[in-house]
Structure formats: structure tokens, C-alpha cells
Structure 1
Amino acid sequence: MNRKAPQTVLTDQNMHLKEAVQKELPNTKHALSIGLIASRFPSWFNAVLGRHYNDWENEFYRLHNMESTMDFDLGWSDMVSCYGLHGNRHIASLFASRKLWASPYLRGHFLAGLAALPGISKIKDFIQRLLSAQTCLSRLIEQVAVVVDYKDQAGEQQIAQQNSENTILKTAAPVEGHAAAVFTPYAFYELQDELVEAAHYAYFHLEGNAFLVRHHTKTDGGCNVTWNQKEELISCSCQMFESSGILCRHALRVLTTLNYFQIPDHYLPVRWHRTQPQPSKSLIGGPDHGRSYERVKALQSMVSVLVSEAGKSEERMDLATQEVSVLLSRIRQQPVVPNVSGDSVRRQR
């Protein structure tokens, strides 16, 4: 991972994994996958709850998706009382570990949407199919690489298909069209859902750069949104962007109200872009591979900003096209010098 520890690691409730993450990745957030936990609910609660199981499960997910930790804790207590689960060891264990799986406690930690992925248990099943008592690590990596390569090809085909079709837009907001042109199908539909919901939210300008956004049926509560126009930075107390990389309905409500027709560049993460050019192979494997990779990523980010800014007017697009053509011509005139290691240089001397 380019010598960088992951921001977050999702696992099941295996205590050995928890200890390993704490020891080897002390700066990484360890979280439990709600998908893997929920896959065990039938065996834990079906017999206990009987015909009330489905109602309890719906209430569990409602609590899981709450925004406030205080509301979660109070709601959990009510749920335990309502379904007579006092003394149930699974309920006690879930509550004790809530800071590792409940959404209100994980806000602000980047999860890329995986924590709430319904089919995440299928990932575990897939890995288990590859594993056996005799499986060595190198063989496992080879098998996973084959599947990842296949998935990459499938993803490219999906994006190509989407490019050739008309994306169905659900709102009249220009930011939706902007997102459709930039984002992968997954990221676009996630943002589209938030944009549709944003229409049902009222916003109140408090003072300065502060806004309060809440559902139109509510008379209290809501989320606090802060907007820095100079830096084009927006933040929301729900911390959805920090957790998923997708702007929340509250932030989108403020942006659309302020007549923003494009999503600010900072909120177009490269990971959600339709196309992500890979670093040149000539930059890979050299002694400065890590530094070269970072430079390539920085260049990709600059190009993304260039395209976004150029698309704001015909004049900007003409200027960008002209200047990039000149720059590209100059770059092609430069000699290509392969990377050599320090040892090679010393040997030549």
C-alpha cells in the first residue's frame, strides 16, 4: 500500500484479528463489519424472538443508522426492554462493542461504504472457498489477483456501457449531471440518492458560514453545515463524506441553495472517478517508486482540477485545449531517460 497503513480495517468479531490490528497497525481504525455480524442474527435471535424477529431486525438497523450516539444508546435501551432481551449474552456483547460497528460511533472514519454493504458476507465466503488447510499465502494472492483482474475488466465494461447510454437523472440540479460525468456508477448512484433526499430538507442560515439543515417534517435537531466559500470547503456534522467519500444530503442542500452548479473539486475523490490512469511502468520498480507514484497521483489530481475548471465556460475550455496541446507537444520532445538505481550509477563509475 505504498508504505502507508490503511485508514480503517474491517473484520469480523475474531479477537485474534483485533489484537493483530492493534499491534501491527496502531494508527489504523479497527471496525467490525455489520454485514458479517448480521449474518449471525438468525442463529442468535430467531428462536428467542420467534415471530417478532423481523420487527426486531428492522429496529436494529434503524438504530444502527442513527446519527447521534446518544440517540443510539437510548434507543438501544428501549429496544432491549421492548423485546425482553435483558440478560441475552449476544445483545450484551453487541452493545459492549458498539463503538466498533454502530454507524454513530464510526462517523468520521473512512469506510468507503463497505460497513453497510449487504453482501459483504459473500466476500468472506469467497475467501473461504480459496482457502484450505494447505493453501500457502503466495497461492492465495495469485488467486485473488486473477479475480481482481476479472472484476477490473467487468468494471471497465460497465463504465463503457454507461458512457454509451443516457444516464437517468432524477433531479434538475446541474450538480447531478456533473457527478454523472465524473463518478463511477456506484459513486454516482450513491450521490444521486443523497441529492434526491436533499430536496426534502430545509436549511437555515445561522450566521457567517454556518447553516442548520434538517428534514422538513422536523421542528428540532438537524445537522450543522459549515461552508468556506474562499477555499470551497464544506463540512457537515453527520461526517458522511469523511466516512464514505460521498457528499451528504445536508451539504448538497446548502450547495444547491447557494447556486453551485458543480461539486467542488475537493469532493470528487480520485477513487470514485470513472477513469484512473495507472502510473507508467517506467516509474515502477525504481528506487524512488514511492516518490514517483506520489508525483503521478499529484499530476492526476491537477489534471482533474484542470478539466473541472475548463468545463465552466467555452472560453476556459478553448484556453485549456490550446495550452495543453502546446504542453503535450513539448513533453513529447523530451528524451525518455530510464530510472537507474544508485548502485548502478556507482558501478558505472
Structure 2
Amino acid sequence: MNNNSGFKKLWNECMQHCDSEEEFEETRKKMIADYNLDGHNWLKGMYNLRHRWSTAFSNNKFSAGLLATSRSEGTNSVLKKAGNRKISFVLNYEKVQKTWRANEKIEDTRCRHGKPATILKNNPLLDHGANVYTLNIFNLFQVELFESLNIQLREQPSHSGHFSRVFEMQSYRHNSKVRIVVFDVQKEEIRCSCHKFESMGILCRHALRVLNCMNVHIITEMYIKKRWTRAHEETRNMLTESFNSVAEKTITWLENLSIKEPIACNNLISSERNNQSTEEPLRNPLSIKSRGLTNACIQRHWMKRVKREREKEKLKLQTPLTLTAMYGKISYMKKLIREMMNDH
């Protein structure tokens, strides 16, 4: 059965492409009925473990799109670099961890000081996502929004309650799966049967298509995960409070600075030093990478220049001497010989 393309298609459907438990059961029954696999022991054992390998039972839990196999393989590759000995393993693992933290700081700086390029101009949903999401998450969100143009509404939405609308969405591809999207007009809540937001943390193309049809131009706050945003509100509030306190202290120092009253100023500075132990220290801002050439590019530029100079010197040595150059060298040697004779 491993070489049968039809069986493998149904098995992959059970493993990755079923949105609900009911759809999983229907696909499995069809697979067993088409290939007469009622008494297959391996399939029975795998059915008992279906909660561990089928996405139909875990798509409503956040996993950031990571599978257990890829996560373990990535961890193993990192631990192999760290080595096997105990002492060297700890030291190497600390080095690996430092590289992770350095990469995170670089990404934070890029997200803080850079704005991504958008595919569509003057699109309100895309502009809002560019201001909210990090660069990597915005690229994923932009792909979903662009793919939403390939989604069509099968029929007019039906009413489920006073404010809820039910949409049947399908792509233009032949025999594509129908997705059910439920949108609450009053609360601006949206749910899709593909469970993209629950598992990945960003809205799917079907939900974005419905938001576009309903003239919703801003992503609701409940559908923006903090872990995918550029900066948390708590961090911003902490920074603003610390900057305001420092500004107030600086103003008081400047007001008390006077040549006639140096004692008051000294007393104020000493009291501030005594209070520093109870207050939280002000952290230095993250270092910003300067624009222009990097150190590697500068080094490469200088190396090219040194190479050119060396090649010129080689060419000078290899080229034959002209008559004027020969006469000049002979006259110079005669002058040296005369000076040596006069010295003797």
C-alpha cells in the first residue's frame, strides 16, 4: 500500500488536512472501504493513537505551525554542536544561547526601526498589519491576505442568529475544500473551520476575505497576539515612566544649580545617590546598527584595494626596463661609487 498513490493521498488527508474529527472519521472509513483494510493490525494501532498524529484533534491548540518531529530534529542538531562531554557541553551550550540572544536583539532592532514593503498599496488591513506585526509574521500575514484574492463566496451568507453571518468559502481551484466562516457583526468576532488562527496565531485567507467583504479595515485586538507584535504595551509604559522620572529629576537639578548656593546642589546630589539603592536602575537602550557598509563589507573593500596595489607592484617588477630608466639607475650607481671613493 505504500506504493499506492490513492491510498497515500487519503492517508495524508487523515494526517494533515482534516479540519474536524467528523471529517477524519469519514475520510478514514472511505480509505478502509476502498482498499479492504478492515483487519489491518497496524492501522488499528494507529487509530488508537490518532490524537497524537492527526491535526484534526490538535488544530484548536496553539503550536505556531511547528510539528513535534521538526522541533525534536532542530533540538538534536543544536545539541550535537554542543558536544558530548559534560564541561564542554555546558560551555558550548552557553555560546549557542548567546548567539540566539544576539539574533533576537538584531531582529528586535530591525522590527523597531524598519517598515516592511507591502505588495498592495493603500490597503487598510495590510497597513495595519505592517504597523502591528513583526517583520517575519507580517510576511506570513501578507501571503494570507494576497491568497485571499483567490477565495470566492459560493453563495449568499445565511443568518445564524440576529448578528451572526455564515459564509461558505472556496478557492477557484477545482475540487477544493469548502470552508465555513462565521462572523459576528456586533462583536466583530470571526471563526473559520480551518482553525488557522487557533493553531498559528494569524487570521487565515478565508477570514480575511470575509472581513474584506464586510468592509472591516482594522484587525480586531483579540486577533493580534502579543508574541507576534513589535512591542508590548507594558514595555512602552515602563520606558515612558522611566524617561518621565529622569526628565523630572534633571529639571530639578538644573533649577537647583547655582553658583551662590553650591551646598543645596550638593545636598540634592547626595540624597539622590542614597535613594539609588531603592530605585530601579535605568537601562541603556539597545544598540542600533548604523546604516551603510557593515564591518565585513569594509574589510572586503580594503582587501580589494591591497590586492590591486600588490598586483601593480608585480607588474612593475615584471615589465622590462626602458632606456631612460636604465640610464637613471646607472647614474645613481656611479654617484654612490664616487661617494664611497671619497670617503676612503
TM-score by length of 1: 0.55
Q: Which has the higher helix share?
A: 2
Residue 126 of structure 1: how far off its partner (Å): 1.5
CA distance in 2 between counterparts of 1:123 and 1:340 reads 42
Evaluate the alpha carbon distance shift between residue 99 and residue 133 of structure 1 in structure 2; reply closer, same or farther with a 3 A threshold: same
CA distance in 2 between counterparts of 1:153 and 1:121 reads 25
CA distance in 1 between counterparts of 2:145 and 2:224 reads 15
Alignment of 1:93-242 (within 5 A): 93-115=45-67, 120=71, 122-130=73-81, 134-135=85-86, 138-139=90-91, 142-153=94-105, 155-156=107-108, 159=111, 163=114, 166-169=117-120, 173-199=123-149, 200-202=151-153, 204-206=157-159, 207-216=161-170, 222-227=179-184, 229=186, 231-242=187-198
Residue 107 of structure 1: how far off its partner (Å): 2.7
- Aligned amino acid, residue 230 of structure 2: R
Name structure 2 gaps, 5 residues minimum: 250-271, 281-344
Evaluate the alpha carbon distance shift between residue 239 and residue 165 of structure 1 in structure 2; reply closer, same or farther with a 3 A threshold: closer
Evaluate the alpha carbon distance shift between residue 216 and residue 191 of structure 1 in structure 2; reply closer, same or farther with a 3 A threshold: same
Alignment of 1:238-317 (within 5 A): 238-275=194-231, 296=234, 299=237
Larger radius of gyration: 2
Asked if the contact 2:203–2:223 (Cα under 8 Å) also holds between the matched residues in 1, the reply is: yes
Name structure 1 gaps, 5 residues minimum: 1-47, 278-295, 304-323, 342-349
Pick from 1, 21, 25 the counterpart of residue 69 of structure 1: 21
Evaluate the alpha carbon distance shift between residue 68 and residue 179 of structure 1 in structure 2; reply closer, same or farther with a 3 A threshold: same
String of CA shifts for 1:228-281, please: whole Å, max 9, x gaps.
53x54444454332222111234323322221212122222121123469xxxx
- Aligned amino acid, residue 204 of structure 1: P
Residue 71 of structure 1: how far off its partner (Å): 1.1
Say what the alpha-carbon RMSD is for the aligned residues: 4.3
Asked if the contact 1:212–1:222 (Cα under 8 Å) also holds between the matched residues in 2, the reply is: no
- Aligned amino acid, residue 164 of structure 2: A
1:49 to 2:2 alignment: yes
TM-score by length of 2: 0.56
CA distance in 2 between counterparts of 1:97 and 1:157 reads 44
Residue 74 of structure 1: how far off its partner (Å): 1.8
SS at match of 1:225: strand
The residue that corresponds to 1:78 in the other structure is 30
CA distance in 2 between counterparts of 1:327 and 1:132 reads 43
CA distance in 1 between counterparts of 2:73 and 2:202 reads 24
Evaluate the alpha carbon distance shift between residue 210 and residue 185 of structure 1 in structure 2; reply closer, same or farther with a 3 A threshold: same
SS at match of 2:184: strand
Residue 223 of structure 1: how far off its partner (Å): 1.9
Residue 210 of structure 1: how far off its partner (Å): 1.2
SS at match of 2:142: helix
Asked if the contact 1:225–1:250 (Cα under 8 Å) also holds between the matched residues in 2, the reply is: no
- Aligned amino acid, residue 245 of structure 1: G
Asked if the contact 1:210–1:224 (Cα under 8 Å) also holds between the matched residues in 2, the reply is: no
Evaluate the alpha carbon distance shift between residue 74 and residue 338 of structure 1 in structure 2; reply closer, same or farther with a 3 A threshold: farther
Q: Percent identity among equivalent residues? A: 23
Greater shift in the superposed pair: 329-338 or 262-271: 329-338
Evaluate the alpha carbon distance shift between residue 297 and residue 150 of structure 1 in structure 2; reply closer, same or farther with a 3 A threshold: closer
- How many residues align? The count is 247
Find runs of 4+ consecutive structure 1 residues off by over 6 angstroms.
217-221
CA distance in 2 between counterparts of 1:101 and 1:140 reads 34
Alignment of 1:331-342 (within 5 A): 332-333=247-248, 338-339=277-278
Asked if the contact 2:2–2:8 (Cα under 8 Å) also holds between the matched residues in 1, the reply is: no
CA distance in 1 between counterparts of 2:164 and 2:124 reads 23
